[in-house]
Amino acid sequence: MEDERRKANRIKKTLTVQYACAGTVDLKWEMSQIKDISDTGLSITTAENFSVDQNLFLRLKLPTHPYEWIDVEGAVVESKTWGGGFWLTRIKFIQLKEEFKTLIKDYIAWFLLNERGGK
């Protein structure tokens, strides 16, 4: 997701996320870390290499709403070697509920404001 193609603010912030492969009968949830996030998608580290367009279910919590799970579905855009047996997997959100998109946008705005010291 090169800067020139981005239409949404993206922040580099490590957050906890759970993910599972969509389309399986028994969902096996894995824990991971978000490396960056926007209201259109995110990048996470994964223990396996995913194919492009593989759908994943994601559960994440934002520091601004620590008691609320945000459940989203995403499609893999890219999965490349990250090192140490991990992959960096880029995911675009699909059918993101408007309320969750707003929560993510609000979190990004809050983060950017606080990163600049409220200026």
pLDDT tens, position by position, 55-64 = 999 999 999 9
Q: Is residue 2 part of a domain?
A: no
What is d(CA 113, CA 3) in angstroms, rounded to the nearest whole number?
A: 20
What is d(CA 93, CA 36) in angstroms, rounded to the nearest whole number?
A: 13
Structural domain including 109 reads 7-115
Question: What's the pLDDT at 23?
Answer: 81
Count: domains in the chain? 1
Q: Is residue 63 part of a domain?
A: yes
What is d(CA 17, CA 83) in angstroms, rounded to the nearest whole number?
A: 19
Q: Is residue 1 part of a domain?
A: no
Q: Is residue 88 part of a domain?
A: yes
Question: What's the pLDDT at 35?
Answer: 95
Question: What's the pLDDT at 116?
Answer: 64
* CATH, residue 11: 2.40.10.220
Average pLDDT, stretch 111-117?
79
Q: List phi, psi (to 5°) of 109.
A: -60, -45
